[in-house]
Chains A and B, each alone.
Chain A
Amino acid sequence: DAGVIQSPRHEVTEMGQEVTLRCKPISGHNSLFWYRQTMMRGLELLIYFNNNVPIDDSGMPEDRFSAKMPNASFSTLKIQPSEPRDSAVYFCASSRRDSLVYEQYFGPGTRLTVT
């Protein structure tokens, strides 16, 4: 089974540009999560979807961030306009069910650098 796939793996962009991160969850998983990891704040949940519906977006930092899940096999996280403080590693994860039991499987992450 292929794991969670994220693209691009690395992204370098200039402040003010739009950035789109992509994620393909594991087939059959119906919960999808976007996380951000920085040295200062550790791992933070930005948003999660269950059956393609956003359930909790309280971690989305501000209106510059948006996420979509148009179908069960694809999700995007968009930052517009990007700022240097958005530089971080962004992880996508998926799990079989929105439940206490099922572990989340993480993608390799996208390292975003905003200059």
Chain B
Amino acid sequence: AQKITQTQPGMFVQEKEAVTLDCTYDTSDQSYGLFWYKQPSSGEMIFLIYQGSYDEQNATEGRYSLNFQKARKSANLVISASQLGDSAMYFCAMRGRGSNYKLTFGKGTLLTVNP
């Protein structure tokens, strides 16, 4: 079975600063994918970034980067230069063959960016 743990129910950050959102996972799969999604107050789920378990480089997408530490089974999201529009719920998720490719989500972290 797969499990995603996000230990930070809420985080605060000042505008223009960087913030790290934690995610740890548990799986018996050798090959898996890790994803981060953003859910603003409007409710839609927005894909941010993907990291494959065999990728040697950490994924980056604009101001988003994924700090992937395979041995520690962690996949933290780093948002650089925070903006007010980054205030939202952030979900870490994973897929693996062992779970029949189902996307398993964590409970989420509510990020608030202060001006």
Give chain A's interface residues, CB within 8 Å of chain B: 33, 42-43, 45, 48, 55-56, 59, 89, 91, 93, 98-101, 103-109, 111
Instruction: Report B81-114 CB contacts with A as 1/0, cut-off 8 Å.
Output: 0000000000100011100111111111000000
Q: Is the CB of B100 within 8 A of A91?
A: no
Q: With A42-B108, A108-B43, A108-B44 given, is the CB distance from A100 to B102 under 8 Å?
A: no
A interface footprint on B71-83 (CB within 8 Å = 1, 0 otherwise): 0000000000000
**CB nearest to A111 among chain B residues:** B43
Q: Quick one: which of B43, B50, B52, B104 contacts A89, CB cutoff 8 A? A: B43
State whether the Cβ of B11 lies closer than 8 Å to any Cβ in chain A: no
Name B residues whose Cβ lies closer than 8 Å to a Cβ of A: 31-33, 35, 37, 43-47, 50, 52-53, 91, 95-97, 100-108
Contact yes or no, A43 B32, CB < 8 A: no
Q: In the complex, what's the smallest C-beta–C-beta distance from B10 to chain A, in angstroms?
A: 14
Query: Do B101 and A93 touch (CB < 8 A)?
Result: no
Main secondary structure of the interface of A (DSSP, over half): strand
How many A-B contacts if CB must be within 8 Å? 53
Instruction: Indicate if the CB atoms of B33 and A106 lie closer than 8 Å.
Output: no
Between A and B, 17 residue pairs with Cβ closer than 8 Å are A42-B108, A43-B105, A48-B101, A48-B102, A56-B102, A89-B43, A91-B45, A100-B53, A100-B96, A100-B101, A101-B33, A103-B47, A104-B103, A105-B47, A106-B37, A108-B43, A111-B43
